[in-house]
Amino acid sequence: MVRRIELSEARSRAGHTQESLAEALHVSPRTVARWEAGTSSPYPTTRRDLASELGLSLDQLASVVSNSNDATSYPNAAWSTTDPVRAAHGWLMDDVPQLAGATSVTQRIITLRRLDDTVAGSQMLPIVLNEIEACRAAGPSAELYQLAGWIASDLGQYALAEHAYLKGADAARAAGDIGLTAQLFSCLAYQKTNISLDPEALLLAQTAAQGTDGKTGPLVEALILERVAWAAAKQQNSSLTLRTLDKVQLAYERHQQTKSETPDWTYWLNQSEIDIMAGRCLIALGNPAKAAPLIAKAVAEYPPEHIREVALYQTWLAEGYARAGNRDSAEEALANAAQLDVDSERVSQRLNLVNSILEPHLA
């Protein structure tokens, strides 16, 4: 009972209501209420943010919050994830415990992933966050955080996405799932690559790849390496990009030959996706003429009901055509993307970018 009173008093002294503290930490007021009731405790990454909001040190915070959430109690939990590269290196290079078993939420997570292919992110995000609230097992929590981060990033909510990826990495590490831990760090690297030229993005992507080397199946390897290739391309590192794209293709071919078991979060990765990423990298490296045919073939084969990805990839096709001097095809691809009217910040930004490229090209 003492702990419950102290936490609520610390919140009040810091000028927070349960609602304002929840908003600052990207959780629900119900979660804050559970912390204060002692029936749940913050994830390790949230503890640092919570301490900051309350004006407490981590040691002081430890005296007023419960440690009841055993799923997230593991070595290195108190590390600062304000340095994702250091955290990724520590978590992925160390040995991890045996992978925890699946729980009853597995099928719901699979369903949510498939819904995200066709349902607007603004509708999906609250649903996924509610699932996180109800989930108590580390492995499924990590998968839900990855999905929440991906949706938030697509909506342009980058701080929330990073928060989700790091909390997911905490949970994946606790579950002993090195592949998912790497996936979460590589998702963060992918976001950093997309929104800035931060050199940390490439280092983070490479760390994720090195941490899973020989420890996962070939499809996971291909997915993690794709993020390395993209970060390298954005840094104009042509040799690393092309070498890594070759590794992606070889890993995918090994997967096709062995048909090895794969985690569900890799379900979307196929040859079309690999070709699209290769095309994007080639555009970034200044070779749009080679990129456009790759992307055009992949887009033609893409499921039309996945309108967000179709719109996004049409913008890449438009950019490839524009930079290669194919004016008519560029205009057509951009119009195809725009008419889909997708609820996606990524698509909106891409439309604006390609429009700015097309103006001088198509004048």
- Select from 34, 63, 92 the last residue of a domain: 63
Q: Hey, what are 131's tokens?
A: 């699932």
Is pLDDT of 238 > 90?
Answer: yes
* pLDDT score at 241: 98
Whether the CB-CB separation of 237 and 193 falls below 8 Å is answered with no
Domain range for 54 is 1-63
Domain assignment of residue 290, yes or no: yes
Is pLDDT of 173 > 60?
Answer: yes
More reliable by pLDDT, 275 or 18? 275
More reliable by pLDDT, 259 or 154? 154
Dist. CA 287–CA 306, nearest whole Å? 27
Q: What is the mean pLDDT of residues 272-287?
A: 97
Closest CA to 189 of 232, 222, 144: 232
More reliable by pLDDT, 128 or 31? 128
Domain assignment of residue 351, yes or no: yes
Dist. CA 213–CA 4, nearest whole Å? 44
Domain assignment of residue 312, yes or no: yes
Least confident of 14-18, 88-92, 216-220, 233-237: 88-92
Mean per-residue pLDDT over the chain, rounded: 84
pLDDT class of 67 with cuts at 50, 70, 90:
low
pLDDT class of 282 with cuts at 50, 70, 90:
very high
Is pLDDT of 4 > 50?
Answer: no
Least confident of 64-68, 232-236, 268-272, 317-321: 64-68
Domain assignment of residue 354, yes or no: yes
Dist. CA 161–CA 318, nearest whole Å? 28
Domain total in the chain:
2
Domain assignment of residue 128, yes or no: no
Other C-beta atoms closer than 10 Å to the C-beta of 95 total 7
* pLDDT score at 133: 83
* pLDDT score at 106: 86
Q: Hey, what are 166's tokens?
A: 């790091």
pLDDT class of 6 with cuts at 50, 70, 90:
confident
Dist. CA 143–CA 314, nearest whole Å? 29
Domain assignment of residue 38, yes or no: yes
CATH number of the structural domain spanning residue 317: 1.25.40
Q: Please spell the DSSP secondary structure of 68-100, one letter per residue.
A: --GGG--TTTTS-TTSHHHHHHHHHHS--PPPP
**C-beta pairs of 323-328 under 8 Å, 24+ apart in sequence:** 323/283, 323/288, 323/357, 323/361, 324/288, 324/289, 324/292, 325/361, 326/292, 327/361, 327/362
pLDDT class of 235 with cuts at 50, 70, 90:
very high
Dist. CA 289–CA 316, nearest whole Å? 12
Domain assignment of residue 104, yes or no: no
- Select from 63, 93, 113 the last residue of a domain: 63
% the chain with pLDDT above 90: 55
pLDDT digits (tens, 9 = 90+) for 71-118: 333 333 333 345 665 555 554 544 433 333 434 688 889 999 999 998
pLDDT digits (tens, 9 = 90+) for 204-215: 999 999 988 888
Is pLDDT of 255 > 60?
Answer: yes
Least confident of 35-49, 126-140, 285-299: 35-49
- Select from 63, 78, 109 the last residue of a domain: 63
Q: Hey, what are 57's tokens?
A: 């040190």
CATH number of the structural domain spanning residue 32: 1.10.260.40
Domain assignment of residue 309, yes or no: yes
| C-alpha to C-alpha distances, 140 to 20, 147, 174, 355, nearest whole angstrom | 27, 11, 11, 40
| Helix, strand, coil content of the chain in percent (nearest 5) | 75, 0, 25
Q: DSSP 3-state assignment of 265?
A: helix
pLDDT class of 57 with cuts at 50, 70, 90:
confident
* pLDDT score at 39: 67
pLDDT digits (tens, 9 = 90+) for 295-322: 999 999 999 999 999 999 999 999 999 9
H/E segment holding residue 356 = helix 345-361
